[in-house]
């Protein structure tokens, strides 16, 4: 990776030229969503990408805040393969936290740092529809209608999307894993890249070393050996699905590093795991 300031700028030029006018979907979560310094770093990165002519859509989660609120209300919640199984009792709380709290806070924070962000969820404009997963209020996306997202991008806005879907005959809607939402949106808008901010260096091997590139075969092998577990499973499944449906590349990067998005996109070495 270049270290001289001039070399860094020259190294980034072809990437900036390539990504101009392209769409990128960023899944925002983990420490980058909580730590004040990392939040500010993320907001500045997004503003810079926008100024460079890159169209950004942000999808956020909020599992920790949801857990805290459910615990306060004494509502139980369980996870299967890293995905929350949402009960009817929990669903209004999930939407309140995601759409009413986190979404608006993030949109406002981005706006105060120079962006033009608009907070929405999948119910708005019927962006994405879901059906129940195993009878719960956790859903699987069946349709994506990106017209509202397209209008916002054309108007120079940055959509900030909470992972709540609408459903037929279900006024409560469905809670969707944010990794899946990022993937489905990326496919629907023909995104160039989808980027997942995590609390790890990327995908790690059994020695804790970074795997810089991974494909379907390697993922299956590592999953069967229980090297890839928990929340990393839906992330990688989402990334691999994206690359099979028109998204050029997917990236899992360390959101604990300041300006990690810029380092991954605009340096030849990158810092995370590339999924191809």
Pairwise CA distance, residues 238 & 233, whole Å = 9
Q: Is 72 exposed, middle or buried (0-12, 13-18, 19+ CB in 10 A)?
A: exposed
Ligand-binding annotation for 111, yes or no, is no
Torsion (CA) 30, 35, 38, 39 in degrees, nearest 10 = 90
Q: Is 113 exposed, middle or buried (0-12, 13-18, 19+ CB in 10 A)?
A: middle
Q: What is the DSSP string of 151-206?
A: HHHHTT-EEEEESEEEETTEEEEEE--HHHHHHHHHHHTT-SEEEEEESSSSEE-T
Q: Which helix (H) or strand (E) holds 208?
A: none
Ligand-binding annotation for 175, yes or no, is yes
Ligand-binding annotation for 230, yes or no, is no
Ligand-binding annotation for 84, yes or no, is yes
Q: Report the Cα 149 to chain-centroid distance in Å.
A: 15
Pairwise CA distance, residues 192 & 248, whole Å = 5
Q: Residues within the annotated binding site for substrate? A: 62-63, 84, 175
Q: Residues within the annotated binding site? A: 62-63, 84, 175
């Amino acid at each position: 990776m270049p270290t001289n300031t001039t070399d860094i700028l020259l190294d980034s030029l072809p990437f900036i030229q390539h990504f101009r006018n392209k769409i990128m979907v960023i899944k925002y979560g983990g420490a980058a969503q909580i730590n004040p310094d990392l939040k500010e770093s993320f907001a500045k990165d997004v503003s810079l990408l926008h100024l460079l002519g890159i169209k950004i859509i942000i999808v956020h989660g909020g599992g920790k805040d949801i857990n805290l609120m459910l615990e306060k209300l004494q509502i139980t919640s369980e996870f299967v393969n890293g995905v929350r199984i949402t009960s009817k009792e929990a669903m209004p709380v999930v939407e309140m936290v995601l759409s009413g709290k986190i979404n608006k806070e993030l949109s406002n924070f981005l706006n105060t740092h120079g962006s033009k962000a608009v907070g929405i969820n999948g119910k708005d404009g019927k962006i994405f529809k879901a059906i129940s997963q195993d009878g719960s209020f956790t859903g699987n996306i069946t349709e994506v209608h990106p017209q509202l997202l397209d209008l916002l991008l054309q108007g120079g806005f940055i959509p900030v999307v909470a992972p709540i879907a609408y459903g037929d005959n279900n006024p409560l809607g469905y809670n969707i894993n944010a990794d899946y939402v990022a993937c489905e949106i990326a496919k629907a808008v023909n995104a160039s890249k989808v980027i997942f901010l995590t609390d790890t260096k990327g995908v790690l091997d059994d020695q804790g070393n970074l795997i810089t590139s991974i494909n379907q075969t390697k993922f299956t092998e590592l999953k069967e050996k229980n090297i890839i577990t928990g929340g990393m499973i839906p992330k990688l499944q989402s990334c691999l699905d994206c690359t099979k449906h028109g998204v050029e590349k997917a990236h899992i990067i360390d959101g604990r590093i300041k300006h990690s998005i810029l380092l991954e996109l605009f340096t030849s070495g990158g810092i995370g795991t590339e999924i191809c």
